[in-house]
Structures are given as C-alpha cells and as structure tokens.
Structure 1
Amino acid sequence: MQGNNHDDVRRHNLSTILRLVHRNGASSRSQLTRLTGLNRSTIAALVAELVELGLAVEREPDHTNQVGRPSPIVAVNEHVVAVAINPEIDAITVGIVGLDGTVHRRIRHAVDAAPTAVEAVDIAVRVIADLRTELDPNARIVGIGVAVPGLVRAQDGLVRHAPHLGWVDEPLAEMLELATGYPVFAANDASLGAMAERYFGAGKGLTDLIYLNGGASGIGGGLIVGGVAIGGVDGYAGEFGHTRVSSSGNTDSAGVTGTLEAEVTRRDLLRVLGLASADADELERALLASDSAEVRATVNAQLDYLGVALAGAVNILNPQLIVLGGFLASLLVVDPERLLAAVAENALPASFGSVRVSAAELGSNLLMIGAAELAFERVLGDPSGFEAVTLASSAAAPA
C-alpha cells in the first residue's frame, strides 16, 4: 500500500494511513513512513489531520528496549463505531463494532419464524435502541452495515432474493435508513465473511482466498482474487451453495437438484443429533461428543460432498486458502483428514498442493466485523469527508 507526496492526492494519503492502522492495528509513525514511502513530516501532518478529524489518536510509545528516539504510536479512535446487522431465519443479530475491528457488543434476538423485511427492520431498530443505552455517549456512529443471507444488489442494497427468508426485491437498506437516520449499506453475508477473514482473521496478508459460510439459510461464499473482492457485475458472485455435487433429486433453495446446499445442511446435522437448534459452537461440541453411527454417516457424507465443491473451486481459482465458517467449520473440526482427502481426490494436484483449508478465526463475530466494514468503507475511502453523530446527540436514531 503506497502513498504519494503530492498535495493534490492528500485525500488518498489520508485514506492510506487510516486503512493501515485500521487493518494492521496501532503503528508507529516510523512504521507508517516505511510502509507508505512518505517522508516523516508528511506522515506527521497526515496523522495530525486524522486526529483532528476524530478518526485517530496518538500516544507515547513504550520506551522499553527502544534504541534512539522512539516514534509516537498511531491508532484508530475507539469511539468511532458502526452498527452491524445480520438477519437470519431464526434470529436478528445486531452488534456495535469499533474501527479497530473490535466487537464491543452483540445481541442475538431470536425469532420463532423467518421474519419479513419489515419485521427485521423493526427488531433491529429496537435492538439498536437498547445498545445505545449501554455505550459510551461519545461513541460516533459511522453508519450501518447489513450482512444478508441472499443476493443483494451492490449499488443500492436492494435484497433481490433471500430464499430462506422469503424476501424478494426488498429495499432493506432504504427501509433501515428511514427508520434510523443512519446511512445503511447491505451485501451478501458470505462475501462480507470473506472480507473480514482477509483483513482480520485467517486470511490476513493473503491475496487469494475463498470463504464458505454454512448457516441456517444455506451455504454461500465470498472470493478474494489477486487481492480484490470479486462480486460480479451486480454483486451476486460466490454462490457456491448452488454448485452441483451429486446426481440426487434433493433440491436447494433455488430449486436446483444435487447441489452443495441440497446435500450439506445444518438441518440434517441437527436432526441426527436430536437437537431443535444450536449455534455453531454448540453444534461442534455435539458432533465431537456423539458416538452415533447415524451421526457419523451423515457427517461423512456431507464432508465428501463438501470436498467435491471445494475441489472445483480449487481447480478454477487456485486459491492460497479456503476458510470455512458456520456449521461448515464444525464439519471440518470433526474430521479434517476426510475433507482434505475428498478435496485431493477431485482437485488438480498442482492446485491442491498450494491451498490450505482452515476454520474461520473470527468465530461468531465474523459477520458483525464484515458488515461493519461496509459502513467503515466510506470513511476509509475519504477520511476528510468524515461525518458522524454521537449516540448522545443523535436525534435521528431510535430512542
């Protein structure tokens, strides 16, 4: 990530500095000088502007084991936060995420049935109101990011199709903006998971990775290719759940037979375990503890189907890393050797030799962090245009 010394690209340079401390954590001015190629006086001026804007803070360095004059440490301002929302068929989860990637608070509001878009907005508004009472009154809200289990049109946050939720052409971002007064951005949940793992999790520092998420609404994916998030012309790329993996008549949410989403389901795992519901951690513990032959047979079948889908992705995209989240991560933990064997059996040897398969590092915070990145992006791209309101002073936010 390179900066530029010309005054006419000050905005670019501010963005460069803020992105570095946002994604890499607190850094010394000397580190920022080295990473950007900018001179020390330019770095000092840029940092001072970010501090004045309320986006960054400076603190004295740790003098321990320092040789020579220590350089001040630059970090993002912890009071700059975003609201993150993840609507699902069994719950609406809302969180507050700091500009440093820290999830300060997360509330999971369970629902008895898949909510309508209007119901999801109403629940989110009430949860945001509860969260506002718990946070520092100086917290500054950048906006709201929404991780949706479905197809979301990138330019306006319109949910074109979220089949398990039963949503078709729902103007979710617009509805939330009207209800809260904050700018709202929405995208596919798995695509946001890929972004979060790339910047803050297992894929940190990598340029080519695939993320697959297994949730209550099925299986989706996100792609990072050559360091660039791949969304497709309308933002619909990464629908790995609809990849054909068998010749069975089982159908997925789109009515397509024999797909990954049709054969590999959280529902079937819960059924053989005798559980009505479970989060990813509870499901993983139950699978590891079970000695049932039926459970083991179901897990083996799902791992084999998952291996076929992953092998196809390896052959086409040649990634460095495949990250599995949700119940797919639970399957991996139960028998990683079987999954890798299934991938190896169907993948080109040269491509398979370059890839690792890992569980998501961010766990239950993954989609909160990914959704928040949507809201943070407008600030990261143009720090000088930063505008936000504090929780204490926001009249537009729900009370």
Structure 2
Amino acid sequence: MNGKATTTRTKLERGRSALGPALELVHTGRAPTRAVLTSELGVTRATAGAVAAELEALGLIRVDSSPGSAAGSQGRPSHRLAVSGTGPVALAAQVHADGFRAALVGLGGRIVATAPGCVAVMADPAQVLGEVVAAGAQLLRDTGLRCVGAGLAVPSAVAEPEGTALNPLHIAWPAGAPVREIFAECVRETGITGPAFTGNDVNLAALAEHRHGAGRGAQHLLCVATGHRGVGGALVLDGRLHSGSSGLALEVGHLTVNADGRPCHCGGRGCLDVETDPLAFLTTARREPGPEESLLKQAGDLLRTEYDDAAVRNAAEELIDRLGLGLAGLVNILNPDRIVLGGLHRDLLDADPERLRAVVADRSLWGRSGSVPILPCTLAHNSLVGAAELAWQPVLDDPLAALT
C-alpha cells in the first residue's frame, strides 16, 4: 500500500475513533460549535468537520449550514452544533412507590414524549414492568421514532452483575427480584430493538444532573435526594457513576443522624431514610398524610405554601439540621466538589439555604474555608433522563457500531 493510501486510512480511523467523544461533547452541551469541538478533541479543523458530518449523516446531530458567532465572541465564525430534534430516542421507564412512568428521551437529555403515569405499583414486578414497557412501546408507535434501547430506574439498590433489586423497601416487590432480566424480556416481547439496562433511581438522577443539569462541569458530584419515600445518594467521579464492587455503593439513606430517632426499615434507628424523607416532614409538622396525593407532593406543597406556620417551619429546621449532619459526614469521607439535592431536599434547600450550608460547613472537617457548593437539582424527571442515559451509552461509546 502506498503512503498516500496509508495516510488516508489513518485519517479515517482517527476520525471514526473520535465519533463517540464528539457525540458526547455535543450531547452534554460542551461543544456548541465546530471550533469548540476541534479544540476539545485535539484534532484538525478538517477532521472535526468530517466527524460532525458523519454524526449528522447518522441522524444524531445537526450542523448549521451558515457559520455564526456567539454574542461578544471574537475570531472566525464557526458552524453551530446541536443534537438532532428528529433523531432516534431511548425508551426510559421509572418505577417508584406511587406509580410508574414511561418516556422517550432524545440526545441532550431532551424528553420527547411521556405516557401518563400509573398510580399503583403491584406486588408482581413482571406485571408492573410489562405495563410500563407497553406504555413506552405505544409512544414509539405514536411517534414513529427509532429506538436505540431502553433503561429502567427503580427505587432499590441494583446488585451487579445480576441486575437484581436487592432491597425494594418502599414497594412490595420481593427482595432479589431479577428486574433487569424481567425488563429486558418485556422489551424484547414488544419488539423494541436495542439493549435494556436497569439502575437505581438516585444513581440515574445523579448521572442525568451531571451531564445535563446542576452537576454539569463537576468533577466529583454527590447527589442526595428524597423519593416518594426514603432517601438515596449517588456519586459521579470523573463523569462515571461510582457504584462500588457490586453496585451497592452510596446507600446514604442508612447513615445514622439521630441515635434516638425513628426505627428504620433496614433494622437501624434514626437513619436519613426515615428522618429526612417526606413522611418524616409531614409527621414532624403534625400533618396527617392524605391518601389522594403522593407523600412527596404533599410535603413539598406544605413546605412551599405554609412555611410561615410555626409547626411547619420548626419541622423544616429539624429536617435541615438532620440532613446537614448527614451531608457533612459524606463531605468528610468523599470530598466532592459539588452537591446537588433532589426531591424534598431540594425544597428544604430553597426554604433556608443558609441554614443548611452553615450546618454542613460547621460539621465538616474543613469548616467554612473548604465548604462545598450545595445546589438544587434542575432537571424535571431526572431519573427518567438518567435511565435513558444508560440506553444511550453504547451509542456514545461507538455510534457507528451501535447504529449500523
């Protein structure tokens, strides 16, 4: 083979190896123009142009035909890049204590369509997952969009590599239910192509926030959130979820923050899970939970609309202090550069941000001089978006192999 042919093949191989990294840069909003893409990839302008054109041909991104400059920028205008609004989607599903929901999610974390959520979770995981996948399959038929795969978020630690729901404490599923196997079978039965994945709901919320929300740009992101019941945590290190040796890392809900507190489902007492979740807030505020709405919505509405009530304010302060104690312990151990809070914890932060930040700083090893930013999660349905991220990952790793 002559030298020119070898050089051409080398350029093609280099360009194709850059497809995945390039797609991830556009997917996460870190490459809004071809010039930024060139710089981030460390390739020539010609290679970056060829990579962008290939991704556009695959239907994954859109390249503006006319170069433009961002306001206030200097230098040569560059072609703007964005994820395709008509490209393929991932089927995302979420199960929680008060129901389930299905959605179609495109690149960029964009929710394209959602199906109305069910308000009851049956004790048979196969029945629940069959219904949520059927709802997602109907969305695909209605939209006519191509599906790259499916992801499921569940309110339980998911043991690896088996994919079993180890401790679904707040839904009536048996411990050790093979949720990944059941979910994958339901996906296959509906004719949906592409791989199927399963993960813990807070892990997936953290992944979504890191790529598309309040955690974007953080190197070590800690996420702590209340669901409809209980408390979960997750850690993203250098862009990847830290799940431990068998998928069970960061069960922060079972940190003890009140030695004389409420009995916990895990067998302990005074855990974050029962001291700072929606039921704990309603109980501490001396409000009887109603059956008509989810506990998360009831607690959030009460906090936002009746914060001037002494019982509500005192309950909020008590939960903030408990939460701050737990976060301080995590800061001492993990040393994150950012914390994001979801669910009721986000509402508690909004209600009294200075109190929470002061508790964390006062109880952290590094004190106020080393305090870590604490921010609210910003994505609606971040666990759904995170479930879709699982399905998108093979495409981000190798777009050509995944789609052709």
Deviations 1:133-184 (A, max 9, x none): 442x2x2111111111111134353322222223322222222222222421
**Is 1:248 matched up with 2:265?**
no
CA distance in 1 between counterparts of 2:96 and 2:68 reads 48
Moved more, 281-290 or 295-304: 281-290
> What is the Cα deviation at residue 380 of structure 1?
0.3
CA distance in 2 between counterparts of 1:227 and 1:111 reads 34
CA contact (8 A) 2:262 2:269 kept: yes
Describe the shift of the 1:31–1:217 C-alpha distance in structure 2 as closer, same or farther (beyond 3 A).
same
**Is 1:84 matched up with 2:92?**
yes
**Is 1:162 matched up with 2:168?**
yes
CA contact (8 A) 1:90 1:111 kept: yes
CA distance in 2 between counterparts of 1:205 and 1:192 reads 17
Indicate which of 263, 273, 281 corresponds to 1:261.
273
Unaligned runs of 5+ in 1: 389-399
CA contact (8 A) 2:361 2:371 kept: no
**Is 1:218 matched up with 2:241?**
no
CA contact (8 A) 1:214 1:326 kept: yes
Describe the shift of the 1:67–1:216 C-alpha distance in structure 2 as closer, same or farther (beyond 3 A).
closer
CA contact (8 A) 2:281 2:319 kept: no
CA distance in 2 between counterparts of 1:14 and 1:31 reads 15
**Is 1:366 matched up with 2:382?**
yes
> What is the Cα deviation at residue 67 of structure 1?
7.8
Superposition RMSD in Å: 2.5
Unaligned runs of 5+ in 2: 1-9
In the alignment, residue 203 of structure 2 is paired with which amino acid? S
**Is 1:53 matched up with 2:69?**
no
CA contact (8 A) 2:164 2:176 kept: yes
In the alignment, residue 336 of structure 1 is paired with which amino acid? P
What is the percent sequence identity of the aligned residues?
34
Residue 382 of structure 1 aligns with which residue? 398
Residue 343 of structure 1 aligns with which residue? 360
CA contact (8 A) 1:242 1:260 kept: yes
In the alignment, residue 201 of structure 1 is paired with which amino acid? G
Describe the shift of the 1:282–1:252 C-alpha distance in structure 2 as closer, same or farther (beyond 3 A).
closer
> What is the Cα deviation at residue 198 of structure 1?
1.1
Residue 396 of structure 1 aligns with which residue? none
Describe the shift of the 1:328–1:114 C-alpha distance in structure 2 as closer, same or farther (beyond 3 A).
farther
**Is 1:93 matched up with 2:101?**
yes
Indicate which of 206, 211, 214 corresponds to 1:199.
211
CA distance in 1 between counterparts of 2:373 and 2:257 reads 21
CA distance in 2 between counterparts of 1:124 and 1:312 reads 37
> What is the Cα deviation at residue 207 of structure 1?
0.3
Give me the TM-score of the superposition, normalised by structure 1. 0.87
Number of residue pairs matched by the alignment:
381
Residue 325 of structure 1 aligns with which residue? 342
> What is the Cα deviation at residue 88 of structure 1?
0.9
**Is 1:147 matched up with 2:163?**
no
Describe the shift of the 1:352–1:319 C-alpha distance in structure 2 as closer, same or farther (beyond 3 A).
farther
> What is the Cα deviation at residue 336 of structure 1?
1.8
Moved more, 103-112 or 257-266: 103-112
Structure with the bigger RCO (C-alpha within 8 Å, sep 6+) is: 1
In the alignment, residue 379 of structure 1 is paired with which amino acid? V
CA contact (8 A) 2:153 2:198 kept: yes
Residue 4 of structure 2 aligns with which residue? none
**Is 1:39 matched up with 2:44?**
yes
